[in-house]
Chain A
Amino acid sequence: MTMTQEEKEKDVSRNACKLCTPFGACLAFKGVTGSMTLLHGSQGCATYIRRYMISHFREPIDIASSNFTEDTAIFGGQKNFGTAVENVIRQYSPALIGIATTCLSETIGDDIKMLVHMFKKDTEVENLPEIVHVSTPSYNGTHSDGYYSTIRAISDTLVEKTGFCTDNVNVFPGMVSPADLRYLREIISSFNDNYVFFPDYADTLDGPSWDEYRPIPEGGEKIENIRSAGDSAGTIELFSCLDDKNSAGKLLEDKFGVANYRIGMPIGIRKTDAFIDALERITGSHAPAWLSAERGRLVDSYIDAHKYIFGKKAVVFGDEDMVVGITSLLSEIGITTVAAVSGGKSGKLESEIKRNNDASCDKAMIMDNSDFEDMAEAIEKLKPDLLIGNSKGYMLARKLKIPLVRTGFPVHDRFGGARIQHVGYRGTQQLFDRIVNAIIEKRQKDGDWGYTYM
């Protein structure tokens, strides 16, 4: 049962369940060592996006803008562009400048490729950083699209083929938390010392206290590593709700013959198994014992908690890839997904949910391109026991008096958004425990007895 925007015939968006395209670009650029992002457009977008990211990550996040004013909006942004890039280089000495467009420069139709070319030709700055440009008009896509196309743009600009084939693996993670990224790196490095893993904003967006000022926080995948991605034996994409034209994995396959494994977000046992399986196949190494042990403990806990959660009904919402992953987990543990909702519009949400699930999801309402009010109306009669998604679902949870298990982005009404885990056996374990406990807590609170033994 899928509803699309057309069928709903709705023009006003009330409480959106998506962010704008350049947001995703800013996030992805944060995952490369020494990179700085410049939004080509007016300054408000950069300010808003910084503000929003910071409210979740609680880290300093610098995003520059080419500061369009009214006359720039009329005559085009070439001059502002050059000044902005030069100033960014001077202040930050970045290794890479990521340039994303806003709706304004896209509507004007600034040709960034040409602007970059002109800049390189005219500038007196020596030792230019890498410049990667990605087109991110928000009237065409969501933050997820911005994220995926930025991975692709970085790959397209940086990756080379040396002709030397390796058993290295490329892994592109989805929009997960810094804690997730840290763990994914741990997993991948246990298969092979050499790999390419980006965007990795684990440290740039969840860093320690400093004893000295750094213009750009440490962390991220190194540019030299990224360059070598064309020599790898395979690519794993940990997301699947995207078009081939936005896919870096597909690009590397077409350009350099690197096989692409599109796994999706590894939440739950089956999807993590698929990820580990792909790692084994590409690297030729076996999963380490500790991973098997983590898996074993997770299965064991599924069995232990079954009595608390079986037959419960959940509404899952957020970014499409995370929704797909979480519904897959729910079907493993006996919770029924009654609705799966996203503001995303890749067109893949339903097929991906179906592909990753057994029949338990058959009756679920699957709604893409939807906002929170669509969701509120749709689930009125479904009587869910819990919501799983980001902080924006709080108002609905409050109204329905059911728990909200916070996942994904943005989580700005709880502490530690950067440390919420979702992926792999260990992340699933964390998420699973939180889901189970949310249900137990609700039961405990609502019960007449005040049992301390649940």
Chain B
Amino acid sequence: MSEKKEIDPKAALDEILSKYPPKVARKRAKQMVINEVGENEQVPQITANVRTVPGIITMRGCCYAGCKGVVLGPTRDIINITHGPIGCAYYSWLTRRNQTKPKSEEDDQFMTYAFSTDMEDSEIIFGGEKKLAQAIQEAYDIFQPKAISVFSTCPVGLIGDDIHQVCKSMKEKLGINVFGFSCEGYKGVSQSAGHHIANNQLFKHVIGNNEDKPEGKYKFNLLGEYNIGGDAFVIEELLERCGITLISTFSGNSTITSMEMAHHADLNGVMCHRSINYVAEMIEQKYGVPWIKTNFIGPESTSKSLRKIAQFFGDQELIDKVEQVIAEEMDKLIPVRDAIRERCLGKTAMLFVGGSRAHHYQELFNSIGMNTLAAGYEFAHRDDYEGRKVLPSIKVDADSRNIEELEVEPDPVLYNPRKSPEEMEKLAAAGVPFKEYQGMMPDMKNETLVIDDANEWETEKLIEIYKPDIYCAGIKEKYGIQKHGIPCKQLHSYDYGGPYAGYEGAINFFKEIDRLVNANIWRHVKAPWMKDTSPTLEATYNA
């Protein structure tokens, strides 16, 4: 194992910031903090969910990507039509590797399609509503889907097409659910705005549409799990073995019908807090279904989540079953984990990804004795870093104000609080807190770095200064990182691997990390005849 010298995090940050012009440095400094966990999980304040500086290469995508790509992408039987020029639809065509399993051959499966209105000059000038209506009609004629949804990309917002009106009239005409998302890429500062818009529209147009009460003793929804690499399949199987009925998942391996029935569940588990907390809150307000934070990444968290669900329902039979499943799974996991731990102990990791994964995956590294040196999110807000306790103190800026906040009232008929306030208090005291997410930072060690919206330059510097043994990010970052001789694990698409959820997934992940941090190939970067020379590689790029 390579020897790691102590690095002063303050000096590291100063070095990174020194290259920026003063204004940019001041802005970035607030998005880069040295972690320090105090009493009651108090952590330093970080600035998040603010604009990226123009010209700085960000990992972030756009509002449309968050809405169509992330939240709605994994539902297999809705036809998603991208309203705009061709690129946006093409680039979001099954690129996230969400998996799905139709129940039978006849079931609709549209995820392999990329539908677009492929706007042209004339629509930019004269408006694209007519073309959109025709596109919806055509999609209907060909496929007769249960639902069609429409996503606006940047130019659409500017030319002023009223997609909601078009959807409404097509809904009346076709007699199926047709609804739209005004998720133009320039809205908000990242994918996050798109998540919020997606949540709103799902709540308005989908959730609660189906009155058939599903069977099941312990009815549960999993929110914010997108079935990358088959994660949802693992979790579905675990829940089933415990006897928990999964009503719907938002939105891995989901169908529109399952989402329409979500309000029949008795408990919501929130996995990716960032992308789906809005739906959890609104379902509670309207139907009285409470939510808890769950996490099925990492064996400890998985066990904790299962136990919380069992405790919520409070049935001894369920509690026992959950314990049995946990014991069975841990028996299989422990020997693998311990063997790998020996080879990985003391190695270091950095995680810069998403809005929850940078947090969740730290536990997997901990399990095999690896330390997280630095972590950060691409599109999270302060509450994802510092915990929901800071929510009241978050300032709403112009970019967030433009995203609609729905006013939700309890449903006059269907509102039915599943637990009384007293019961909820009791559960909270017993370790099942509601509406709570304590954020990433309280789980990180002191003196580690927390960086929001880390960019290309900062990534390079972090690697240069800290030389971690592995860096987790996405495909855009991967190959730059690997040029440094440091392996990069993609935590968006899982590098074509996975599943990593649950116990089975944890085993996969341990093996994968073992393979990566103990690989031999990096030794061959220099040929034998290159070893002693230090060629000057500094190129100057001045014309």
A interface, CB within 8 angstroms of B:
10-16, 18-23, 33-34, 38, 41-45, 47-52, 54-55, 58-73, 80-81, 83-88, 90-96, 102-104, 106-108, 127, 129-130, 137-140, 142, 209-214, 216, 218, 223-224, 343, 373, 395
Contacts and interface: CB of A to CB of B under 8 A. Distances in A.
Contact of B186 (A42, A60, A224): A42
Given A14-B114, A210-B484, A62 B57 contact: yes
A415 B472 CA distance: 22
Contact of B90 (A20, A58, A83): A20
B60 A211 contact: no
B300 to A, nearest CB: 33
Contacts of A71: 398
In this complex, the member of B86, B138, B187, B456 whose beta carbon has the largest number of chain A beta carbons within 10 angstroms is B86
Contacts of A72: 186
A233 B321 CA distance: 82
Interface stretch (B41-49, B151-159, B209-217, B363-371): B151-159
Given A16-B89, A68-B186, A216 B541 contact: yes
A11 B138 contact: yes
A92 B19 CA distance: 11
B64 A44 contact: yes
A16 B120 contact: no
B325 interface: no
Interface in B86-142: 86-93, 95, 112-121, 123-124, 131, 134-136, 138-139
Contacts of A49: 87, 91
B399 interface: yes
Contact of A43 (B58, B134, B398, B485): B58
Interface string B453-481: 00011001000100000000011101110
Contact of B61 (A23, A34, A43): A43
Sorted nearest first, the 9 A-B pairs with minimum C-beta distance are: A44-B62, A20-B87, A87-B55, A60-B480, A84-B55, A34-B541, A48-B91, A84-B54, A12-B135
Given A13-B115, A52-B91, A84-B55, A43 B60 contact: yes
Interface residues of B, number: 87
Contacts of B186: 42, 68-70, 72-73, 104
A63 B57 contact: yes
A51 B113 CA distance: 19
B185 interface: yes
Interface of B: 19-21, 24, 51-65, 81, 84-93, 95, 112-121, 123-124, 131, 134-136, 138-139, 153-155, 157-159, 184-189, 398-399, 402, 456-457, 460, 464, 474-476, 478-480, 482-485, 525-526, 537-543
Nearest to A207: B483
Contact of A44 (B63, B158, B537): B63
A91 B398 contact: no
A13 B464 CA distance: 45
A10 B410 CA distance: 44
B155 A103 contact: yes
A47 B189 CA distance: 13
14 contacts: A12-B138, A51-B474, A51-B476, A52-B90, A62-B57, A73-B186, A83-B54, A90-B20, A93-B542, A94-B541, A103-B84, A139-B120, A211-B525, A212-B538
B65 A44 contact: yes
B58 A218 contact: no
Contact of A42 (B124, B154, B480, B485): B154
A116 to B, nearest CB: 14
A15 B135 contact: no
B131 to A, nearest CB: 5
Contacts of A64: 54-57
A142 B118 CA distance: 11
A107 B115 contact: no
Contact of B479 (A20, A52, A54): A54
A107 B439 CA distance: 40
Contacts of B460: 213
A344 to B, nearest CB: 12
Nearest to A107: B155
B86 A34 contact: no
Contact of A130 (B112, B114, B543): B543
A107 B124 contact: yes
A127 B478 CA distance: 32
Contacts of A38: 55
B21 A90 contact: yes
Contacts of B138: 10-12
Contacts of A209: 482-483, 485, 525
A47 B61 contact: yes
A60 to B, nearest CB: 3
A90 B56 CA distance: 10
A72 B53 CA distance: 13
Contacts of B88: 20, 44-45, 48
Contact of B85 (A12, A103, A343): A103
Contacts of B540: 93
Contact of A96 (B155, B157, B543): B543
B87 A45 contact: yes
Contact of B117 (A13, A23, A81, A85): A13
A70 B187 contact: yes
Contact of B185 (A13, A52, A104, A138): A104
